[in-house]
């Protein structure tokens, strides 16, 4: 039995039928030349032989009576692979647009809380002969970094499927739920331990708060410069109550090219991503005469996980980044975005000792669940002052090529979570020298056509960023790969050019 942290459990309490709180991945796989087997059967067999290697795949929830405290994870010794690993086939022609539409639909349905909270889908029938492989797992069990660690368990570094220790069925002697008295005793003990941790942390917390206040004061800039965004964000069309219907679109970029571009123009990969999103959102809203006079604010998750921590839980906080959409001049907007992002991360570095600490939540879960349902059904999310306008994540993923049941993983796109008040989520994940972008949104707020319009605008923004003056003594020639992508020319085979599904 293992207690969920308050952060992990919040993803359960805030889940409603309109807001499934699972994260996913879409992988495009290249089968070995001359392959004549049944890939679904081989993959399911591989998962069956490895599922015991990750607790994230073999544990399920046991809830507290009356939701008085956080639930606990208990082991499930009877995994039904036929339920968790499924097979689908696309209708002809099997285009990438059809794949994205299917993933949007699969991502909109809730996971069954009576089972381990994950599902996998093998999708065949793509026109180019590839296999699409979609996985989803509840956010209460993993964050982006933990998901990357889970990938190391399921996937291989070579086409050869590695051997793993065989599973052994354990017989724990209990059914789905533990006894009521056992659960209540565990809840009281866990809350007491949390209070002890808070007491021990008070001296460190005081120092961290003082240091973060100093950082914020340095970035307030009363001399007329742009301060850190500390007030409410302006209202946009993305700040609304959402439905469970989803839109999904993808984009793939060569990471080395983007990194070199960032260095040349005085930023980082993260700055380039933010600037692309800023230009795309700014142009999208301006063309519809709904661009606010104040700057659009991005909510950006920041990992609190230590480099050697591979635990399967959430260790993340959120910063607010000024996307400077009120600045028309691109060079000035780029500088403002970079400064805001770096300042936000500086505050998190000072507060890191206290941000990941569990807060006792005895009696609160039922209240959080009720509030989440009320916010969605009452429409109040469309009236409350928004804290941000768009969710943007940049997640480090596997640096080397991976293989799934012997098939080469060509692309590894993230599929994420929009929520009431934030109908648009843009997540970027690195994989094998590429930046894989997944745009997930509420379909009522952003149609499939509009999602692809944002992708096109983001690509056009790369071409704009290429024209920025270099901060280096000698500016190198523009990246052929990025320029080609921005012009939407088909890349030559093997040249590492940007590709986007549309």
Catalytic residue among 139, 338, 411, 420: 139
Phi, psi of 19 (to 5 degrees): -130, 70
Is the backbone of residue 150 left (phi > 0), alpha (psi -120 to 50) or beta?
A: alpha
Whose CA is closest to 438, among 327, 333, 430? Answer: 430
Sign, CA torsion 130/449/261/149? negative
Where are the strands (E) in 76-176, listed by range? 85-89, 118-124, 131-138
Are 37 and 438 in contact, with CB atoms under 8 Å apart?
A: no
d(CA 229, CA 323): 10
d(CA 47, CA 87): 14
End-to-end CA distance of the chain: 45
Q: Are 136 and 23 in contact (CB under 8 A)?
A: yes
CA-CA distance, 80 to 295, in Å (whole number)? Answer: 49
Smallest CA-to-CA distance from 462 within 439, 445, 448, 480 is with 480
Nearest to 321 by CA among 262, 270, 355: 270
Q: Could you give the maximum distance between any two Cα atoms of the chain, in Å?
A: 71
In 221-266, the DSSP E strands lie at 246-254
Crossing angle of the two packed helices 144-154 and 39-50, in degrees rounded to 10: 110
- DSSP letter, residue 296: P
User: Is 139 one of the catalytic residues?
Assistant: yes
**Spatial separation of the C-alpha atoms in residues 415 and 135, rounded to whole Å:** 9
How many Cα atoms occupy the beta-carbon half-sphere of 86 within 13 Å?
Answer: 12
Active-site positions?
139
């Amino acid at each position: 039995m293992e207690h969920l942290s308050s952060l992990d459990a919040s993803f359960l309490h805030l889940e409603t039928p309109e807001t499934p709180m699972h994260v996913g991945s879409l992988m495009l796989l290249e089968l070995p030349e001359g392959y004549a087997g049944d890939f679904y059967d081989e993959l399911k067999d591989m998962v069956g032989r490895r599922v015991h290697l990750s607790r994230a795949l073999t544990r399920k929830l046991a809830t507290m009576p009356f939701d008085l405290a956080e639930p606990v994870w208990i082991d499930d010794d009877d995994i039904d692979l036929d339920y968790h690993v499924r097979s689908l086939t696309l209708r002809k022609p099997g285009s990438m647009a059809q794949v994205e539409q299917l993933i949007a639909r699969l991502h909109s349905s809730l996971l069954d809380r009576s089972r381990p909270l994950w599902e996998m889908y093998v999708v065949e029938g793509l026109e180019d002969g590839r296999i699409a492989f979609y996985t989803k797992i509840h956010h209460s069990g993993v964050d982006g970094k933990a998901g990357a660690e889970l990938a190391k368990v399921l996937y291989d570094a070579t086409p050869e499927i590695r051997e793993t220790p065989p599973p052994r069925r354990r017989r724990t002697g209990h059914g789905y739920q533990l006894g009521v008295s056992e659960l209540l005793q565990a809840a009281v003990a866990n809350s007491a331990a949390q209070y002890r941790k808070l007491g021990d942390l008070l001296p460190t917390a005081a120092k961290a708060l003082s240091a973060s206040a100093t950082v914020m004061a340095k970035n307030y800039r009363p001399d007329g410069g742009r301060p850190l965004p500390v007030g409410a964000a302006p209202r946009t069309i993305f700040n609304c109550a959402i439905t469970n219907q989803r839109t999904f679109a993808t984009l793939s970029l060569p990471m080395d090219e983007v990194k070199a571009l960032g260095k040349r123009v005085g930023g980082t990969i993260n700055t380039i991503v933010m600037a692309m999103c800023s230009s795309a959102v700014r142009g999208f809203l301006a063309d519809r005469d709904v661009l606010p006079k104040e700057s659009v604010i991005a909510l950006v998750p920041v990992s609190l996980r230590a480099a050697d921590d591979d635990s399967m839980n959430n260790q993340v906080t959120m910063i607010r980044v000024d996307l400077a959409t009120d600045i028309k001049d691109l060079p000035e907007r780029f500088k403002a975005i970079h400064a805001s992002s770096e300042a936000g991360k500086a505050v998190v570095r000072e507060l890191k000792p206290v941000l990941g600490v569990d807060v006792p939540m005895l009696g609160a879960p039922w209240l959080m669940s009720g509030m989440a349902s009320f916010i969605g059904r009452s429409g109040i999310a469309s009236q409350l002052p928004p804290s941000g306008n768009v969710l943007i994540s940049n997640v480090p993923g596997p640096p080397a090529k991976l293989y799934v049941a012997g098939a080469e993983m060509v692309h590894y796109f993230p599929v994420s979570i929009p929520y009431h008040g934030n109908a648009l989520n843009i997540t970027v994940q690195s994989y094998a020298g590429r930046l894989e972008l997944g745009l997930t949104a509420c379909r009522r707020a952003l149609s499939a056509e509009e999602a692809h319009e944002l992708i096109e605008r983001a690509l056009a923004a790369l071409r704009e960023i290429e024209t920025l003056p270099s901060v280096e003594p000698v500016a190198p020639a523009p990246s052929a790969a990025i320029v080609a992508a921005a012009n939407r020319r088909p890349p030559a085979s093997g040249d590492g050019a940007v590709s986007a599904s549309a």
